[in-house]
Structure 1
Amino acid sequence: MLHDRRRASLRSLRRTALHGALLHVLCAAAMPLAYAQDTDAPATPAQATTLDQVQVTGTRGTIQTSIDRKREETVVSDVLSADDIGDLPALSIGEAIETITGASTHREKGGASEISIRGLGPFLGSSTFNGREATNGSGDRSVNFNQFPSELINTVAIYKTQRADFVEGGVAGTVNMETVKPLEYGKRTIQLDGRGTWQEYDDRLKDGDGMGWRGTASYIDQFDMGAAGTLGVSLGLQALEGSNPEEMLSSSSTWVACDGREVVGATRNCTQVNGQQVADGVPYYLVPSSRIYRQFIEHDQRDSQFGALQWRPNGAWEVNLDYQHSKRDYTEDRSDLSLSSMMRNLNNRVVTDDGALLHHTGSTTVDSTGNFLERMEEYTGGGFNVIFRPNPAWTLSTDLSYSNTQRDQIERSTRLRAGRTDVNGNPVPGIKNTRYVDYTYDYHGDVPSIYLDPAFDVNNADNFTDSALIRRRQQSREHTIRAQRFDVTFAPEAGFFTALKGGLRRSEATYADFDDTRDITTTDVAAIRAANRACRQAFPQDDFLDNASGNTIDQWASFDSRCLFKAFTGVDDTGLSADLRDPANNDVTEKTYAAYFMGEFSSEWFGLPVTGNLGLRWVRTDVRSVGLRSGLDVTQNPDGTVTLRPTGEFTSQTLSSSNDQWLPSLNAAFELRPDLLLRVGAYRAMSRPDLAAEGYGRSFNLDDVDTEFGSVADALGSITATGNPRAKPLMSWNADVSLEWYANADSILSTAVYYKQFNGGSMPVVVDETFEIDGESVSVPVEQLATSNQKSDLFGFELTGSHTFSYLPGIFSGLGVKASYNYADSNFRTEDLRLGESTDPVTGVVTPRIVEPANIFGLSRHVASAQVYWGLGKLDLQAIYKYRSDYYQQFVGDPSQNRYVRDNGSLDFRATYKVNKHLSFSLSASNLTDEPRVSDMPILGSFREYTTYGRRYYLGVRYRF
């Protein structure tokens, strides 16, 4: 085989003169790699044999394995692979992926979350587990990497070009995680791995719950069953418990553009303007409806079980069975200070040219809000695979898989608002117009400086005696995938093609959610005062946001939310409503049918050995979405405003859509020299909308039960679509060229250039829908996201280098580096849902945009990572720095406005000491730079949120039998 000949050629590689202009460029860019080879004389056969006998472990061993896997792949790819389980050099799967060239993550709860490949958001990529799609509890198509223990994952690969036999859905690429196959592993291993965790910011919390732990046990073995063949077994268990302390200053997710000409009165909100007014020259500024100081106390508990059986009864048959289960219980106890109506009395404004507010005065209500959240998430997955090889030429295989995620979340929240009088009936200093406090906003530090009227004491619990709100909200989401595939491979004895493959795939994905909200409001002065006195608590934290320059509020009057909930309801939990119907609920069924034919070839082109594959995949997608429609009542308030509420009467509506796509692909690898490969790839790819984005629900964006609007038209403008079943997949034509130099087992230098042309994009459209308003049928314009016919382009390139300085003397021979960089740029446009350009699909009328569009979801122009590792005998050290520039980050769930995350970087460290072949100890640290996450909305520079979570430390011990 050609791969075997490559390996033999590489082992006996003797130094040759570089030739050609391209090779001169490679040489100049990687002098250390060239120096790694003997510059005076070629390596002797004896030296090569000695090298082959050396067993390399630790970070260097993992990088060697990864280089070898990358070389053997049939597409443009990057791979992180370890020979032994638990040897991936990272604390989690997400953080492992961050070290792969072109990959970046969005950080949530201090850890790596959604994966972007080559600057493209997770909705443009696909993620698979053992080659199969997996579910999650978020309603999108990404994989929750936290549910898979990194200690039980052997390989993470990113396939950056597509192949006809891949599961469809990877414009950006495909992330595939693999667990070990016990028969291929080939040895018995029993491994115990324990880690203690400590969160630095937990020192600030007064509950003293900062220590956590994670324990993993695994067993792999093989059995000779005589006439019944061989059996391999792999079992893994993991349990963990810990906390995720965070500090946050945030804003609402709804932003408006206000008239910059007016002086806003003390008793009303600013006047909103639309895109046409702005186009006609009306000045504007951008403002959210609220700002929120948020203090978290969180607790996380998770249990996982993994198992696999691999049975080969004879040389013709192989049976594989695998199972995964993960259960997570998460609680969050939150204390908020909400400045909940900040669009009132806005004056003394300092505004940038693009509408960002840097300074202003205003008036707002002030709320002390508590929230206790419990989330239970359970994942169950597995598959059954049978392979039959009747003779050397034919291989038949079938695969059945199942994946299910159930997420239930219960929130019990309470609000006490500062009012005109305190608990003793005395006037509250600083309160004006019944419930409003004057403030000054100034943004020049890390976070905005918000100065409340000095007469008002935000720390005095006596002041919060107005408009009590008690809310119980339960969300339930279930995502299920059932899939079947059948594949046939024929290997001709001679000819251009070395293998011909064909196959069929069918899958059915279902996604359903409901949101049940029960609200209790009261203005009963006596009840509010009694609950206020009974449920006060000391502020749960010291030094809140003390590392953020500009912060002016470091604590506030805090109440026990569960105590308040019981004080007003008489019970700990009021339970679900009798009627769970809601217009925002989603019920989506998506069926996929696919067929492919592909040929693998090995030949010589232009005098060069070449291998590759050529194929075509057909995909049909059928979507069926069910939604509810509710009648609405409009209540006229004494001050002239109106309030919108559903009547509780519903009708059901169903919308179906389908589409067919053809996906051709070509991959070829040219062996320019035994150590130099040129890969090319050309393919068409598709990315479907998220399942939740195919919902047919309608959401009433009311922040509160008593949200008031200036008119009926404003109230109706709050109706938005939770999704659009008609949305088509985003299609792209793609081209890749990759040059890879494998200087030796430790060294690689590769570069790739890629281009993508997108046929389609996401844009807001306004669709007139009929609602029952006060008993009459009214046509209401509803904004929703649709796939446009626009064409856009993306260009990028990436660089990867890895090298071990094994030729240096003494302890320096274990020093190594790995670095990667990805650049991407695109003219893709994502219009803001409320303030962007929108089109009426019936009339064709275009409303001009107010704010500039975002680029494609997840696009960071610059993504880089750098590793330094040092093997010092039994001690292995590793430092990893990761960086990505600013990017547009969608919200998960209902469509919302454009949010940007600013550029950020973080430094992680890991040290492992191997006492002997059985016992090792490790010390790890993440986010050593204490990097916060800062986001803006709906344009860069318009502050939305600052989140910080501190450094985290892990002390581990592993024992391997």
Structure 2
Amino acid sequence: MKARNWKLGYLPMLVMVNMGITSTSFAQDQQNAEGDNVEVISVTGIKSSLVRAMDIKQGSDNIVDAISAEDIGKFPDQNVAESLQRITGVSIDREGGEGQLVTVRGMGPEFNAVLLNGRTLATVGDPSSMSWNGSPGGRAFSFDILPSELINGAEVYKTQSAELQEGSVGATINITTMRPFDNPGMHVLASAKALHDDMSGATKPQFSGLFSNTFNDDTFGVLVSVASYERESRYEEANTAYYFKVEDPLDGTDYGQVYFPRNYDQIVQTEDRDRLSGNVVLQYAPNDRLQISADYLHSKYDVSGRQDIYPSWFTPGNVRNPELDENNTLVYADFVDVFVESMARQSDASSKLNAYGLNIDWQATEDWNMELDISASKAESDPGKGWSDVVVGRPGEFSYDRRQGQQVPTMAFDPIQAGDTLTAGWTSLQGTRLEDEVKAAKFDNSLYVKAGPLVEVNFGAHYTDRTLGTVYGETEGPLPWIFADNSTRIPLPDSLFNLFDADGFLSGASGDPVNQWPTFNTDEIMAYLSSDEVINMLDDPQVARDILNRNGFGIVPDRTAYDVNEEVMALYTDLSFEGDIGDMFWTVVAGMRYVDTTSTSSGQQIALLDLVPSQNEPNKVFAEYSDDYVPVSISNEYQDWLPSVNANLHITDELIGRVAVSRSITRPELNQMSPLTNYGDGEIDGLTGSGSNPKLAPYTSENVDLSLEWYYDEGSYAALAYFRKDIDGYLGYSTLSETVVVPSGSYDYEISRPINESSTEVDGFEFAVQHMFSSLPEPFDGLGVIFNLTKVDSSSEQDDLPLIGLGDSENLILFYEKAGFQVRLAYNNRGRFMQTKPVVTGTRQRDGHYVDDYKQLDLSGSYDINENFTVFFEGINLTNELTVKNAEYKNQTLQVIETGPRYALGVRAKF
């Protein structure tokens, strides 16, 4: 991925900056430095990083936005994703208040390719997730495993070229790490800071260090960096899983179709997050034409946590005295003959990433540059003993009141008192082990020619082999529910419980929540339920005893585990043209990428052996299944031709117009390509089944981009862009007619699977301005401002619903840098967007889920004590903004999450 500056006179930069030059090849850097005899100096700080990022944008053939480190080991934000959200059109999803997943121009994380130094990086998502999802794993990269201290820059390619790796309907994000040849000479850096989490009240240390040096006249370089991160966090959540539409009478009255809340839970989650990361880079340049680089990245992320939950489960048949609002949403009800419960979850999970790379950059002749890159990465997620899910309770009743429209409903309980006998409910462990492994090789060539307007030919071949394996496990049934289903509920001793104090639960939200409830250690509950004393109380002790003797409450791996292997071979050619129209300089890069994809999904399942006709019912059949699991493997292959054209016109020295057209693809999520299918029995004319779909085709998008960019002063520019994407192959769930042949004959099944069924058009515009007030009198000449906004819309042939993740966004950043002092105030807003589409399950329906507008204000600053030492501070989410999710109507609140502010104070040293 090269940014070609064909005429350096069009760039405002008068010196080559000694940081962040990652977009040009080694040979080009050497030629520029030697041929032009340009002085190489080091410039750091907010302004210099913005100038470098602007120069990448201005000099690229594509429509690109970039971020550059402010200094060695100093990225603009604590988290890489949080820095990316400052870019026009980029939004993020947070976990525990930290940026994790990236959306670009409304295209969700799975639609964006994330590369590290131009390479696909394995990923396994969030190790801390305590959810019911038994099939995680996909292409969406989780940024929280990458420490910002190891990152040198990031480029967001919003248009495609043949040279760019395919796989992104949204954008290609290339993260670059530091290399010793980027900064010749010896550099030693160290940083220490204390991170305070306002919700937990805990302060934890963070450290980072870097050593970089070049030897033998800068022909050999070594860089070693390390970063250690600790955080003790807490977040609070009011949760209703969903509203479903019911037509059941409520308290004997038929209200028609009612929006009925599934539940209401109060959740307090506490976590300890520990991440240790390191990077080693070796570089060797025996002469001006050859550079060899080898690198290794390691990151280990451990997350242990617990959730203390006050749950309430709602059932239409238990409703008394219901009240509905104008939308026919239940806003008040008394619930009788129910259980008043308490719930706890505990987890201790770990994930790690190892990435290796070898790059050989050779200027074979004066006009021919070759680059070979070989890489491998492996990400693993270990659930440890799994996350526990334990419920206790006693019979009682409660009322639910949301009539005032508050975010947190009022729950009136007959509260659990000391001395109340609580009994066992659902009790289990579950977890998913994931492994994602990527092996890749690239051979790129740049041939400089002069044949009329043709000035360069880029061509090459890329190969990737990726395998995702997933194994879900849980406590063997029927043990999880056997204690609650016993004819007499199992009583639990008072000694297992203590009082949990939420201490002002969701203080930033409106409402009157419960603040105290009983809690417990889930390990102690499971140990007590495993005792002979309890087992002997069961209706059928032997069932529980057999399971406990085999596995206890531990995780039993599901034998329907599967893996998906994907091999991709790509060939590409880019032709670069340039010329003049009068006084206007133009460039065109036109190319074609051919991609051959082969996927193989392998697993095992209980097989359907035959369908046996019923003796008494002539139209009915009974299924015969295999006694054991049998292997199943399904392959799929498809080819894609991906043309692209990026045309740029330098209307003046400061004004650039760009036009880009391309075709791009995003492959389906790997966890949607399981080879497993379940076949049922029953009426011959109504046989049904369900499964995933290893034959899924990729999403295909036809893209048009227009951009006008005005670089009117050093470090200052304004840009306006329009984009449109016509996307085919959006996934939906549907039933497909399939014929199954067994010994007794052929049978027609209706199988529910994900399929490529719809088309969507996405369009929008972006506006960005970056201005440095350098002409103001001192001390105001250190001021600067950045503002950008993105407006997006979508339409679908299937329905009038917006695209998942599609929403507007805005950024406003004010900064000041002068005499060693710098401060930055950053405001970000992500507009309301749909998170999940409506779902129909059996006779029940639920509408889509939406995330409300989210606004966050961050502050950072630093002061250079001298050339070697800098003190700095950071404040994240200063105004304690809440994340709010709702259903079709805004008063149907689903989640209110409070993560609180975070503050950091530290010192940085460099020598």
Task: Name the TM-score class by shorter chain.
Answer: 0.7 to 0.9
- Shift of residue 712 of structure 1? 10
- Which residue among 799, 803, 806 is the counterpart of 1:856? 803
1:231 corresponds to 2:199: no
Paired AA for residue 407 in structure 2: V
In 2, Cα distance between the equivalents of 1:331 and 1:719? 38
Cα distance per residue 1:617-660 (max 9 Å; x no partner): 0112222223444489xxxxxxxxxxxxx998534433322221
Asked if the contact 2:430/2:473 (under 8 Å) is kept, the reply is yes
- Which residue among 690, 701, 707 is the counterpart of 2:669? 690
Instruction: Give the match's secondary structure for 1:344.
Output: helix
Asked if the contact 1:900/1:939 (under 8 Å) is kept, the reply is no
Asked if the contact 2:737/2:750 (under 8 Å) is kept, the reply is yes
In 2, Cα distance between the equivalents of 1:869 and 1:87? 16
- Which residue among 500, 510, 513 is the counterpart of 1:552? 513
In 2, Cα distance between the equivalents of 1:185 and 1:890? 46
Asked if the contact 2:445/2:459 (under 8 Å) is kept, the reply is yes
Scaled by the length of structure 2, what TM-score is found? 0.84
- Shift of residue 176 of structure 1? 0.9
- Which residue among 499, 506, 509 is the counterpart of 2:456? 499
- Which residue among 9, 33, 47 is the counterpart of 1:7? 9
Question: How does 1:852-891 map onto structure 2 within 5 Å?
Answer: 854-860=801-807, 862-889=808-835
Aligned to 2:108: 121
Aligned to 1:149: 147
Paired AA for residue 557 in structure 2: L
- Which residue among 351, 372, 379 is the counterpart of 2:346? 372
Paired AA for residue 813 in structure 2: Q
Tell which deviates more after alignment, 874-883 or 647-656: 647-656
1:752 corresponds to 2:721: yes
- Shift of residue 216 of structure 1? 0.7
**Residues 890 and 195 of structure 1: CA distance in aligned 2, closer, same or farther (over 3 Å):** farther
Instruction: Give the match's secondary structure for 1:405.
Output: strand
Paired AA for residue 722 in structure 2: V
1:470 corresponds to 2:427: yes
Cα distance per residue 1:56-79 (max 9 Å; x no partner): 642122112211221111200111
Name whichever structure is richer in strand by fraction: 2
In 1, Cα distance between the equivalents of 2:749 and 2:505? 45
- Matched positions, count: 824
In 1, Cα distance between the equivalents of 2:748 and 2:155? 50
**Residues 941 and 783 of structure 1: CA distance in aligned 2, closer, same or farther (over 3 Å):** farther
Asked if the contact 1:545/1:551 (under 8 Å) is kept, the reply is no
1:737 corresponds to 2:706: yes
In 1, Cα distance between the equivalents of 2:472 and 2:437? 19
- Shift of residue 283 of structure 1? 4.3
In 2, Cα distance between the equivalents of 1:718 and 1:240? 50
1:656 corresponds to 2:635: yes
Aligned to 1:581: 558
- Shift of residue 290 of structure 1? 2.8
Paired AA for residue 327 in structure 1: K
- Shift of residue 925 of structure 1? 0.5
In 2, Cα distance between the equivalents of 1:482 and 1:927? 39
Asked if the contact 1:303/1:327 (under 8 Å) is kept, the reply is yes
In 2, Cα distance between the equivalents of 1:939 and 1:761? 26
1:90 corresponds to 2:77: yes
In 2, Cα distance between the equivalents of 1:869 and 1:572? 64
Asked if the contact 1:799/1:821 (under 8 Å) is kept, the reply is yes
Aligned to 1:215: 207
Q: Percent same amino acid among aligned pairs?
A: 23
Instruction: Give the match's secondary structure for 2:780.
Output: helix
Question: How does 1:95-244 map onto structure 2 within 5 Å?
Answer: 95-138=82-125, 139-203=137-201, 210-224=202-216, 230-244=219-233
In 2, Cα distance between the equivalents of 1:930 and 1:800? 27
Asked if the contact 2:871/2:908 (under 8 Å) is kept, the reply is yes
1:667 corresponds to 2:635: no
Asked if the contact 1:380/1:404 (under 8 Å) is kept, the reply is yes
- Which residue among 858, 863, 872 is the counterpart of 1:913? 863
Aligned to 1:517: 474
- Shift of residue 335 of structure 1? 1.2
1:311 corresponds to 2:311: no
Cα distance per residue 1:284-333 (max 9 Å; x no partner): 23335332211112101111111111211223322111111111111011
Aligned to 1:947: 897
- Shift of residue 528 of structure 1? 7.7
- Shift of residue 152 of structure 1? 1.7
- Shift of residue 412 of structure 1? 4.6
Asked if the contact 2:46/2:70 (under 8 Å) is kept, the reply is no
In 2, Cα distance between the equivalents of 1:770 and 1:443? 53
- Shift of residue 540 of structure 1? 5.0
- Shift of residue 523 of structure 1? 5.4
In 1, Cα distance between the equivalents of 2:688 and 2:326? 28
In 1, Cα distance between the equivalents of 2:571 and 2:327? 50
In 2, Cα distance between the equivalents of 1:551 and 1:61? 50
- Shift of residue 698 of structure 1? 6.4
- Shift of residue 156 of structure 1? 0.9
Asked if the contact 1:65/1:82 (under 8 Å) is kept, the reply is no
Asked if the contact 2:505/2:513 (under 8 Å) is kept, the reply is no
Aligned to 1:35: none
- Which residue among 294, 306, 312 is the counterpart of 1:321? 294
Asked if the contact 2:426/2:484 (under 8 Å) is kept, the reply is no
Asked if the contact 1:94/1:145 (under 8 Å) is kept, the reply is yes
Q: Unpaired runs of 5+ in structure 1?
A: 13-51, 204-209, 271-281, 421-430, 432-436, 633-645, 701-710, 832-851
Paired AA for residue 377 in structure 1: S
Question: How does 1:592-607 map onto structure 2 within 5 Å?
Answer: 592-605=568-581
- Which residue among 383, 394, 397 is the counterpart of 1:419? 394
- Shift of residue 94 of structure 1? 0.8
Asked if the contact 1:613/1:668 (under 8 Å) is kept, the reply is yes
Asked if the contact 2:390/2:427 (under 8 Å) is kept, the reply is yes
Asked if the contact 1:379/1:403 (under 8 Å) is kept, the reply is yes
Cα distance per residue 1:157-201 (max 9 Å; x no partner): 111101101110121111111112321322321100112111111
- Shift of residue 609 of structure 1? 0.8
Aligned to 2:618: none
Q: Unpaired runs of 5+ in structure 2?
A: 15-38, 126-136, 532-547, 609-624
Asked if the contact 1:121/1:856 (under 8 Å) is kept, the reply is no
- Shift of residue 263 of structure 1? 3.4
Aligned to 2:308: 335
In 1, Cα distance between the equivalents of 2:370 and 2:342? 64
Instruction: Give the match's secondary structure for 2:461.
Output: strand
**Residues 175 and 444 of structure 1: CA distance in aligned 2, closer, same or farther (over 3 Å):** farther
Cα distance per residue 1:126-161 (max 9 Å; x no partner): 111111111111312122212222112111111110
In 2, Cα distance between the equivalents of 1:770 and 1:188? 69
Question: How does 1:422-441 map onto structure 2 within 5 Å?
Answer: 431=396, 437-441=397-401
1:764 corresponds to 2:764: no
In 2, Cα distance between the equivalents of 1:815 and 1:717? 70
Asked if the contact 1:341/1:365 (under 8 Å) is kept, the reply is no
In 2, Cα distance between the equivalents of 1:551 and 1:699? 46
Aligned to 1:568: 529
Cα distance per residue 1:762-805 (max 9 Å; x no partner): 22202468999xxx9998855432211x4332221111111111
**Residues 224 and 87 of structure 1: CA distance in aligned 2, closer, same or farther (over 3 Å):** same
In 2, Cα distance between the equivalents of 1:350 and 1:724? 44
Paired AA for residue 391 in structure 1: T
- Shift of residue 125 of structure 1? 1.6
- Which residue among 664, 675, 694 is the counterpart of 1:725? 694
**Residues 284 and 777 of structure 1: CA distance in aligned 2, closer, same or farther (over 3 Å):** farther
Scaled by the length of structure 1, what TM-score is found? 0.80
